[in-house]
């Protein structure tokens, strides 16, 4: 199988590594910068054998050559442009979340997505925090009714002000959707308040049923990615450590000091993706979740 990856940033590198680990033998990076395209190929090449063929090109190659998979890892602000360009191609599409920028399309995002999904059926938006939530679910012991849930997410990203919410909210909403095992969870979010928008921080509170949710998102270069989760007074975290050039993911309970090593959530996403690559229901479920996340994210930023 072959694939094309639009983008040459760190997240494109992450997707390339996962695709190769799952059997992709030919990878074409599409980047406006030949220098960046060359650098990312050199980085990925060091981690894999010589049996993988790498190349770089521009968008035109997508109309000239058949790719089994096209993966969009470009800036969120141009996702809709790239989706328009590849719409109708007979490739399976993987899209780094969010599917489009709400700041670019504003209230027209629903019309855009309706038209796009009509022409493209094998589309999956990447939500690795679905799998992180499943690991948390096994790790924590909730024996009381939840009154408050605090979700604090820090990354080393470059988003600022409202873009922080656009970028990180899909992680939070997909996490809650999975953690609470309630398909109607996203539809039940209401009473938005305590909105704070700063250069490096975005904060909001909302209510689901009788539970108050407090979300804090932060992005700043040089900061490590971390997640702190508080359920009532119980405090947990997801952290990563680098050991022998490999990242180890683990969960930590602050009260008991208990730790548990978990699989990389992105790796779990790709394992499930390849198991379901020809399963139409898999794409339908992802579409339904994506539309719900976009609708609720639009509500929370406006």
The model's pLDDT over 65-122, given as tens digits with 9 standing for 90+, comes to 999 999 999 999 999 999 999 999 999 999 999 999 999 999 999 999 999 999 999 9
Give me the pLDDT at residue 241, please: 85
235 φ, ψ (degrees, to nearest 5): -115, 130
Confidence of residue 300 (pLDDT cuts 50, 70, 90): very high
Mean pLDDT over residues 38-54, rounded? Answer: 91
In the block, tokens 């599917």 appear at: 99
Longest dimension (CA), the chain: 58
Using CB atoms within 10 Å of the CB of residue 186, give its burial: 0 to 12 exposed, 13 to 18 middle, 19+ buried. Answer: buried
Give me the pLDDT at residue 242, please: 78
Mean pLDDT over residues 171-196, rounded? Answer: 92
pTM: 0.96
Q: Is the pLDDT assigned to residue 247 strictly greater than 90?
A: no
Return the bridge partners of 99, or none: none
Residue ranges covered by each domain of the chain = 2-126, 129-265
202: its two tokens: 């975005």
pLDDT, the chain, mean? 95
- CATH level 2 (architecture), domain 2-126: 3-Layer(aba) Sandwich (3.40)
Q: Is the pLDDT assigned to residue 170 strictly greater than 80?
A: yes
Confidence of residue 48 (pLDDT cuts 50, 70, 90): confident
Give me the pLDDT at residue 84, please: 98
Mean pLDDT over residues 185-200, rounded? Answer: 94
Query: Looking at domain 129-265, which of 3.30.360.10, 3.40.50.800, 1.10.443.10, 3.20.20.30 is its CATH number?
Result: 3.30.360.10
| Residue spans of beta strands (DSSP E) within 130-286 | 148-155, 189-197, 201-208, 211-219, 226-231, 234-243, 246-253, 259-262
> Which candidate, 125, 133, 137, 7, places its Cα nearest to that of 74?
7
């Amino acid at each position: 199988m072959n694939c094309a990856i639009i983008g040459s940033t760190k997240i494109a590198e992450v997707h390339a590594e996962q695709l190769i680990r799952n059997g992709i033998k030919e990878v074409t990076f599409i980047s406006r910068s030949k220098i960046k395209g060359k650098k990312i190929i050199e980085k990925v090449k060091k981690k894999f054998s010589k049996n993988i063929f790498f190349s770089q090109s521009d968008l035109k190659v997508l109309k000239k050559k058949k790719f089994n998979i096209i993966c969009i890892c470009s800036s969120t602000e141009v996702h809709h442009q790239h989706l328009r360009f590849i719409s109708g191609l007979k490739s399976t599409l993987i899209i780094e979340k969010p599917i489009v920028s709400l700041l670019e399309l504003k209230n027209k995002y629903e019309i855009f997505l309706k038209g796009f999904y009509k022409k493209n059926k094998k589309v999956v938006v990447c939500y690795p925090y679905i799998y992180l939530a499943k690991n948390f679910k096994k790790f924590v012991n909730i024996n009381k009714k939840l009154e408050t849930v605090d979700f604090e997410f820090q990354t080393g990203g470059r988003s600022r002000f409202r873009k922080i919410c656009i970028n990180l909210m899909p992680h939070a909403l997909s996490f809650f959707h999975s953690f609470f095992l309630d398909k109607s969870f996203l539809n039940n979010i209401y009473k938005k308040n305590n909105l704070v928008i700063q250069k490096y921080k975005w904060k909001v509170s909302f209510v689901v049923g009788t539970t108050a949710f407090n979300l804090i998102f932060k992005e700043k270069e040089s900061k490590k990615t971390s997640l702190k989760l508080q359920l009532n007074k119980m405090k947990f975290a997801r952290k990563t450590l680098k050991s022998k050039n490999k990242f180890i993911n683990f969960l930590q309970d602050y009260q008991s000091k208990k730790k548990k090593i978990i699989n990389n959530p992105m790796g779990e996403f790709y394992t499930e993706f390849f198991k379901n690559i020809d399963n139409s229901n898999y794409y339908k479920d992802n579409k339904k979740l994506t539309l719900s996340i976009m609708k609720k994210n639009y509500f929370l930023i406006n």
